[in-house]
Amino acid sequence: MRSIFLSLLLLFLPFVVMAQVTDIYQFNSVEQRQQFQGLMGELRCLVCQNETLLDSSAPLAADLRLIVYNRVLEGESDQVIIDYLTRRYGDFILYNPPMVQKTYFLWFAPILMLCIGFFLLVRLSKPAAQFYG
C-alpha cells in the first residue's frame, strides 16, 4: 500500500514543480495563463536545446520568457508571438516544425516508412503461406 502511495507521489511531483514556476507570472485571466503555458511548451531554449523556454535556466531563456509573458499580457495571439520569435531565431525555436512544403518529408516520412514496411511484411510472408497452403 505504501509503495503505491509513494509511486503516485513521485509520479505527480514534477507537476507540482511546474505549477510553482508558472505561479511567478501573474495573468489577467485563466485564458492568458493557459496561452502562456501552451506557448512555453512549444518553444525550445536555444542554449539548452533539450529544454523548453519554461524549464531552461539559461539567461536568454529568461529574457525570451519575459518577452512572451509581456506579449501575452498585451493580448497578442499565439501566431503573432510565434512570428516575432521565428523572425529572429527561425523555425528551430519551435519544437514542432511548421507544416510547409519543405517539411512534408519530415512529417510524413515515418508513417510512409511504416506503411512500406507493413506492406513488405505482408507481401513477403504470402509465398510461404501459399507453399504450405
Partner 1 sequence: MIFKHKIVKYIPLAMFLILIIICWRGLSLNPREIPSVLINQAVPEFNLPELAGQDHLTVRDLQGKVTLLNVWATWCEACQEEHPLLLNIADQYHVPIIGVDYKDDPTKARQWLNDYGNPYQRVGLDQQGKVAIDFGVYGTPETFIIDKTGTIRYKQIGIMTQSDWDKTIYPLILRLRKS
Per CB under 8 A, 90 contacts partner 1: yes
Rounded Cα gap, residues 51 and 43, in angstroms? 9
Per CB under 8 A, 124 contacts partner 1: yes
C-alpha cell at 79: 501566431
Is 31 or 63 the residue whose CB approaches partner 1 more closely?
63
Is 80 or 116 the residue whose CB approaches partner 1 more closely?
116
Among 47, 100, 106, 114, binds partner 1 (CB under 8 A): 47
Dihedral Cα 17, 19, 23, 26, nearest 10 deg? 150
The answer to whether 46 and 93 have CB atoms below 8 angstroms apart is: yes
C-alpha cell at 10: 513521485
Per CB under 8 A, the segment of 9-17, 21-29, 34-42, 117-125 that binds partner 1 is: 117-125
Is 21 or 47 the residue whose CB approaches partner 1 more closely?
47
Per CB under 8 A, 67 contacts partner 1: yes
The answer to whether 64 and 43 have CB atoms below 8 angstroms apart is: yes
